[in-house]
Amino acid sequence: MRWTLKPKPEAHKLKHLMEVLQVNEVVATLLLQRGIETYEAAKTFFRPSIEDIHDPFLMKDMEFAVARIDKAIATDENIMVYGDYDVDGTTSVALVSSYLQTIYPNIATYIPDRYEEGYGLSFQGIDYASDNDISLIITLDCGIKAIDKVAYATEKGIDIIICDHHRPGNELPKAVAVLDPKRDDCNYPYDELCGCGVGFKLIQALGSKRGQTVTDLFPYLDLVATAIAADIVPITGENRVLAHFGMHVINSAPRAGIKAIINQLKKEILTITDVVFVVAPRINAAGRISQGLHAVDLLTEDDLEVAKQYAAGIEEFNLERRSLDQEITKEAFLQIEKLEEQERFTTVVYDEHWHKGVIGIVASRLIETYYRPTLVFTKSGDKLAASARSVKGFDVYNALEQCKEHIIQFGGHKYAAGLTLKEENYQAFKDAFEEVVKNTIDNTLLTPEILIDKEIELKEITPKFYRILKQFAPFGPQNMSPIFMSTQLQDSGWAKCVGAEKDHLKISAVQRRSKPISGIGFNLGDKISKVKNKKPFDAVFSIDENVWNGQTTLQLRLRDIR
């Protein structure tokens, strides 16, 4: 691990913020690192307001989208709400379809089959719309590159409204409306919305024409918060506001489908981390193992008892997903060990039998071990499909763009992408990808980095300090849970390995006669020799609460020790 301590803020800015907010140096430092330099900016950060949710009509083409939907309603057309099969796509479809059904009955939903149709707007989906007299399709979390599909739909007399948040190509599809804040010609004030966030802007615009306020649409924000958490978009600006109010809905009045999932948790208050690791994987499992429409059915069901039945079925998919994930990861490790004859800058593996629904998870697992840009391929019909994942600081999407002569199609983000290619091009692509990464990556990026916000003393960790830290939530990209470093620590004699495999480290740390504070380091069991016998050590950690026997205490969540 590379430990990187963030630079100290400018002294005059630090002094100013400490004075105007009446906070200590640590809190002021954390705020400045997040770009918060004034009292007003801090107020917006700590007290998200509905006033900070932007006017949806600032988004390019929103007027066209609303007018086309109103026309469809006025002339009794059939409307299809179409979305990708992951969490962002299924929550988007649930959100827009359930809203439209409150004002109009002729609404169908469609999620493409991951295996038969692949990602995005499909010819099969358009044919289904044509066969069912559907004349308007609203795509969510996909469509921004579907130039040929939109043209095909137009030939069949079907209009398309695209709601997407992925990077557009050089040309936009000729749709009725293209809602995407990443369009070069779109001046919407915030361009990091997820797909469900763009869907929310659409219903906000439709609602405003019907006299509805943002507050009236709050019940939909549990879906938006779930998508924000799962899609790993920045928790800044409007996303922070939507996530803040969405988490409030999840914790106070979630829809039946989300309630059915969280009923399995023994937690009174869920954090956005719980949504990432508990709620999202279950919603995702439907599209990975079976069909994403199962997730839409769950998320649009009003009856809690029926929702519980849907959730039980989805839990079965989730258990199967876990089993496949573990099995394929082991096989990938064996394949890499056989191939590792020389130093490589990438990990690219392939097996035609691997389940397409979990190759993205496997790619993430491989990065945890090998830490380099990674692609996991499997057979998909007569082609190969892959999920790409990257290391922090390296843009895998750009790398794929430089290999596009070997690729049929690709799409995604800086750190995660998907692609398809012909089987005969696999080796040529693999060699080209290795060469591109080798020539463009900074070698330091191949060692995992822990970015440390501030060095602190253990005595600074108090209940009051932790109460302020909690107000920095919800956490996520560009507002991660603060990471601290403390030096010259000693274990007070309680260090031990815990867990079924004894792979976790439990300590009780002191620093220059401070009160002891417990610490837990998951998967740090091999570091016990560094802390035994009261050897001095440095630690990187976040701070959280430990509840045991009804008692709540603060603890260090250890990230690394040296």
- Domain limits of the chain? 56-313, 340-446, 450-561
Given a cut of 80, is residue 266 above it in pLDDT?
no
If we measure between CA atoms, which residue out of 95, 65, 401, 424 comes closest to residue 227? Answer: 95
In the predicted model, what is the mean pLDDT of residues 327-345?
86
In the predicted model, what is the mean pLDDT of residues 179-192?
96
Given a cut of 70, is residue 366 above it in pLDDT?
yes
Whole-number Å distance between alpha carbons of 545 and 560 = 19
Kindly indicate the confidence band of residue 341, based on its pLDDT and cuts at 50, 70 and 90: low
487-490: long-range contacts (C-beta < 8 A, 24 or more apart)? 487/455, 487/538, 488/512, 488/536, 488/538, 489/458, 489/536, 489/537, 489/538, 489/539, 490/531, 490/534, 490/535, 490/536, 490/537
What pLDDT is attached to residue 381? 87
Kindly indicate the confidence band of residue 365, based on its pLDDT and cuts at 50, 70 and 90: very high
Given a cut of 90, is residue 316 above it in pLDDT?
yes
Kindly indicate the confidence band of residue 340, based on its pLDDT and cuts at 50, 70 and 90: low
Give the helix/strand (H/E) hosting 82: strand 78-83
What pLDDT is attached to residue 562? 95
What pLDDT is attached to residue 115? 80
Given a cut of 60, is residue 217 above it in pLDDT?
yes
Whole-number Å distance between alpha carbons of 397 and 419 = 10
- Could you tell me which CATH number the domain at 56-313 has? 3.90.1640.30
pLDDT digits (tens, 9 = 90+) for 15-26: 999 999 999 999
What pLDDT is attached to residue 524? 95
What pLDDT is attached to residue 264? 72
What pLDDT is attached to residue 494? 87
What pLDDT is attached to residue 129? 98
Given a cut of 90, is residue 79 above it in pLDDT?
yes
Kindly indicate the confidence band of residue 97, based on its pLDDT and cuts at 50, 70 and 90: very high
Lowest mean pLDDT among 117-121, 433-437, 502-506, 534-538: 117-121
Whole-number Å distance between alpha carbons of 307 and 258 = 9
pLDDT digits (tens, 9 = 90+) for 367-387: 999 999 999 999 988 999 999
Percent helix, percent strand, percent coil in the chain, to nearest 5: 45, 20, 35
What pLDDT is attached to residue 116? 84
pLDDT > 70: what percent of the chain? 99
Q: Classify 450-561 by CATH class.
A: mainly beta
Sign of the torsion angle spanned by Cα atoms 384, 385, 389, 395: positive
- Looking at every residue in the chain, the average pLDDT score rounds to 94
Given a cut of 60, is residue 287 above it in pLDDT?
yes
pLDDT > 90: what percent of the chain? 86
Kindly indicate the confidence band of residue 269, based on its pLDDT and cuts at 50, 70 and 90: confident
What pLDDT is attached to residue 431? 96
What pLDDT is attached to residue 493? 84
Whole-number Å distance between alpha carbons of 538 and 487 = 4
Given a cut of 90, is residue 519 above it in pLDDT?
yes
Whole-number Å distance between alpha carbons of 390 and 375 = 9
Given a cut of 80, is residue 195 above it in pLDDT?
yes
Given a cut of 90, is residue 169 above it in pLDDT?
no
Helices (H) and strands (E) in the chain, counts: 20, 19
Q: List CB contacts of 523: < 8 A, sequence separation 6 or more.
A: 503, 504
The position carrying tokens 């137009």 is: 154
Please state which of the four CATH numbers 3.40.50.300, 3.40.50.620, 3.10.310.30, 3.10.250.10 is assigned to the domain occupying 340-446. 3.10.310.30
Kindly indicate the confidence band of residue 41, based on its pLDDT and cuts at 50, 70 and 90: very high
Given a cut of 80, is residue 114 above it in pLDDT?
yes
C-beta separation of 411 from 404 below 8 A: no
